[in-house]
């Protein structure tokens, strides 16, 4: 590509600031004692400590996975801080008591928590390092019987509910990172939508990593009872550090009969600099269980950050006629590596799944889609449709597609379509000849490419996602 195309400058990561706040941090390292300490600090019920210890003992026996498509130096697990929380003396009754520095931090990130400025019709749970600092609209949600609170709080107030569902979708020893998370998670969000309730507003959690050495291990659990509906959005950013930070979250979704859960993610962790220094390692386990008949779980993700992303939001379709969906845009630039995709496991009859994956790779990045569609022997009439499109920007980026299909029932139908396209210099010249700048040209083409996915996002976030991608791609052509 020509130098004029190359010369667009990279937009710096605008969330890369560090908040100066006193925190309660335990020394780096992992042992049973550390786990007991975390559990004690959080004053957890006994079952929770057992859960953690069981996970830890399993984890010790497990081996860190070694994937073909992502490469990174070994992680020293004894060098990570497993608990870091902004120092608080007692629980906050209202937002007025939350440390103003923290409120400012979220304000700066565009997530206003204060009463006057908060997003209308979106309830936000803000998580700073590993701890929830504020949840908005709690009372309004309570009127409908909806529980939306930090999982640490749920463990105090609704321990039976948590015990019933925690680990029911992602067992403690599911995989290396899930086991680690189960052992050490410090906070996350808990959502419970009772029978027949349509959650009156969007629920949103905003994750912020601040501490340089801390790993972030959140745990999210969403339960939708019979006939209920909820739409949940997760957003995330981190400061810029030279060293890599580990993020290993677990998200579990449970949908009972006729329930619907829509889970959207706009992920913008720090991705490291142009040479690949620093950035978040994002190893996340997300799984939804369509336990009831006619239930539906839909994942929508816009992945733009992280140095390395390894993530496969999945649906296990147990209930007859249940539906799983996965809509994804994964963008990689510079030296980023993403290995992402989904797993759709069809167990019940007439279960249906749709996969729409859009991968955009720029710079020298590598973007792999890995999708598993598994149709079990009893999944009479199951159907899957997958579409995987890749777009390459520049000559040095790579894209791979690995569809894995396992069908054990003859009546099932599985369709897979894939395409690769490239933003070419001649297309950019065509735009330029009509007076349209390269930034606008790329933004227009990318937004067209991603439209099928963006249409799935809640309105407020679709526009944001569009802007975010444009920003991330500035300077990427070359």
Q: How far is the CB of 8 from other proteins (least distance, A)?
A: 12
Phi-psi region of 324 (alpha: psi -120 to 50; beta: other; left: phi over 0): beta
Q: Based on CB atoms, which residue is closest to other proteins, 11 or 447? A: 447
Nearer to other proteins, 238 or 445 (CB): 445
Burial class of residue 66 (count of CB atoms within 10 Å of its CB; 0-12, 13-18, 19+): exposed
Told to check if 451 binds other proteins by CB under 8 A, we report: yes
> What sign for the dihedral angle of Cα 54, 223, 304, 445?
positive
Altogether, the residues listed in the chain come to a count of 478
- Can residue 26 be called a binding residue for other proteins (CB under 8 A)? no
Of the candidate spans 163-171, 258-266, 376-384, 418-426, the one that interacts with other proteins by CB under 8 A turns out to be 418-426
Our finding on whether 447 is near other proteins (CB under 8 A) is yes
- 434 binds other proteins, rule: CB under 8 A: yes
10 binds other proteins (CB under 8 A): no
| Position 429 contacts other proteins (CB under 8 A) | yes
Question: C-beta of 452: minimal distance to other proteins in Å?
Answer: 10
Size of the site for other proteins (CB under 8 A): 24
Count of C-beta atoms within a 10 Å radius of residue 95? 16
Q: Which of 214, 236, 272, 186 lies closest to 77 in space, CA to CA?
A: 214
In the DSSP assignment, the letter for residue 292 is S
Among 63, 66, 426, 459, binds other proteins (CB under 8 A): 426
Only one of the segments 67-75, 266-274, 335-343, 433-441 lies at the binding site for other proteins (rule: CB under 8 A); that segment is 433-441
Contact range with other proteins by CB under 8 A, out of 121-129, 209-217, 402-410, 423-431: 423-431
433 sits near other proteins (criterion: CB under 8 A): yes
Residue 419 CB, shortest distance to other proteins, in Å, is: 10
CA dist., res. 171 & res. 475, Å (int): 42
2 binds other proteins (CB under 8 A): yes
Residue 331 in the binding site for other proteins (CB under 8 A): no
Pick from 101, 406, 420, 421 the residue near other proteins by CB under 8 A: 421
Selection from 385, 392, 347, 383 nearest residue 365 by Cα:
392
- The bridge status of strand 23-25 relative to strand 250-255 is unpaired
Between the alpha carbon of residue 272 and those of residues 16, 90, 245, 390, the distances in Å are 10, 36, 10, 23
Task: Give yes or no for a contact between 277 and 240, defined as CB atoms under 8 angstroms apart.
Answer: no
Q: Which of 8, 28, 432, 471 binds other proteins (CB under 8 A)?
A: 432
The position carrying tokens 């520095």 is 101
> Tokens 């400025």 correspond to what residue?
117
DSSP for 323-386, please give it. EEEEEEEEEE-TT-EEEEEEEEEE-STT-EEEEEEEEEE-TT-EEEEEEEEEE-TT-TT-EEEE
Q: How far is the CB of 458 from other proteins (least distance, A)?
A: 22
Choosing from 5, 21, 49, 75, the residue that interacts with other proteins (CB under 8 A) is: 5
Asked whether the beta carbons of 369 and 338 are under 8 A apart, the reply is no
Residue 165 or 449 having the CB closest to other proteins: 449
Instruction: State yes or no: residue 437 binds other proteins (CB under 8 A).
Output: yes
Q: Exactly one of 50, 242, 417, 440 binds other proteins (CB under 8 A); which one?
A: 440
Give the binding range for other proteins (CB under 8 A) out of 74-82, 242-250, 310-318, 427-435.
427-435
Find all residues with CB under 8 Å of 161, minimum gap 6, and list them.
147, 154, 192, 223
Q: Is 444 in the site for other proteins (CB under 8 A)?
A: yes
Region 282-301 residues binding other proteins, contact defined as CB under 8 A: none
- Pick one of 53, 405, 436, 471: the residue that binds other proteins (CB under 8 A): 436
Residue 445 lies near other proteins (rule: CB under 8 A): yes
3 state DSSP class of 199: coil
- From 124-132, 179-187, 369-377, 447-455, span contacting other proteins (CB under 8 A): 447-455
Q: Does 449 bind other proteins (CB under 8 A)?
A: yes
Of residues 85 and 477, the one with the C-beta less far from other proteins: 477
Nearer to other proteins, 259 or 445 (CB): 445
Residue 9 interacts with other proteins (CB under 8 A): yes or no: no
β-pairing, 383-393 with 337-346? unpaired
Q: What is the DSSP letter of 198?
A: B
Q: How far is CA 213 from the centre of its chain?
A: 21
Under the rule (CB under 8 A), what is the footprint of other proteins? 2, 4-5, 421, 425-427, 429-438, 440, 444-445, 447-449, 451
């Amino acid at each position: 590509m020509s130098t004029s195309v190359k010369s667009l400058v990279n937009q710096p990561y605008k969330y890369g600031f560090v908040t100066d706040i006193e925190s309660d941090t335990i020394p780096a390292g992992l042992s049973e004692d550390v786990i007991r300490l975390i559990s004690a600090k959080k004053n957890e019920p006994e079952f929770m400590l057992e859960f953690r210890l069981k996970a830890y003992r399993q984890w010790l026996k497990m081996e860190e996975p070694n994937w073909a498509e992502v490469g990174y130096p070994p992680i020293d697990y004894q060098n990570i801080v497993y608990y870091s929380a902004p120092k608080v003396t007692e629980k906050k009754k209202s937002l007025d008591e939350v440390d103003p520095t923290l409120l400012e931090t979220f304000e700066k990130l565009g997530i206003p928590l204060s009463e006057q400025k908060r997003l209308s019709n979106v309830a936000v749970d803000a998580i700073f390092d590993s701890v929830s600092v504020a949840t908005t609209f709690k009372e309004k949600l309570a009127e409908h019987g909806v529980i939306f609170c930090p999982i640490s709080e749920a463990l105090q107030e609704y321990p039976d509910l948590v015990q019933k569902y925690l680990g029911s979708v992602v067992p403690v020893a599911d995989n290396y990172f899930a086991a680690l998370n189960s052992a050490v998670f410090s906070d996350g969000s808990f959502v419970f939508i009772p029978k027949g309730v349509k959650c009156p507003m969007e629920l949103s959690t905003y994750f912020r990593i601040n501490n340089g050495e801390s790993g972030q291990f959140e745990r999210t659990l969403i339960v939708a009872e019979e006939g209920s509906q909820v739409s949940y959005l997760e957003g995330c950013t981190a400061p810029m550090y030279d060293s890599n930070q580990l993020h290993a979250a677990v998200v579990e979704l449970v949908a009972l009969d006729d329930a619907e859960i829509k889970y959207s993610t706009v992920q913008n962790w720090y991705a490291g600099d142009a040479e690949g220094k620093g950035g978040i390692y994002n190893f996340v386990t997300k799984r939804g269980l369509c336990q009831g008949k006619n239930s539906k779980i839909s994942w929508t993700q816009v992945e733009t950050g992280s140095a390395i992303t390894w993530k496969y939001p999945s649906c296990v379709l147990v209930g007859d006629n249940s539906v799983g969906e996965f809509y994804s845009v994964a963008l990689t630039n510079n030296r980023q590596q993403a290995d992402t995709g989904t797993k759709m496991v069809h167990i019940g009859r007439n279960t249906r799944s749709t996969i729409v994956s859009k991968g955009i790779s720029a710079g020298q990045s590598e973007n792999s889609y890995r999708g598993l569609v598994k149709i079990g022997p009893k999944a009479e009439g199951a159907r899957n449709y997958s579409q995987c499109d890749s777009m390459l920007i520049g000559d040095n980026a790579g894209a791979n597609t690995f569809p894995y299909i396992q069908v054990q029932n003859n009546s099932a139908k599985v369709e897979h379509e894939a395409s690769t396209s490239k933003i070419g210099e001649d297309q950019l010249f065509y735009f330029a000849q009509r007076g349209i700048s390269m930034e606008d040209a790329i933004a227009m083409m990318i937004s067209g490419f991603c439209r099928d996915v963006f249409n799935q996002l809640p309105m407020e976030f679709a526009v944001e996602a569009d802007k975010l991608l444009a920003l991330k791609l500035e300077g990427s052509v070359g």
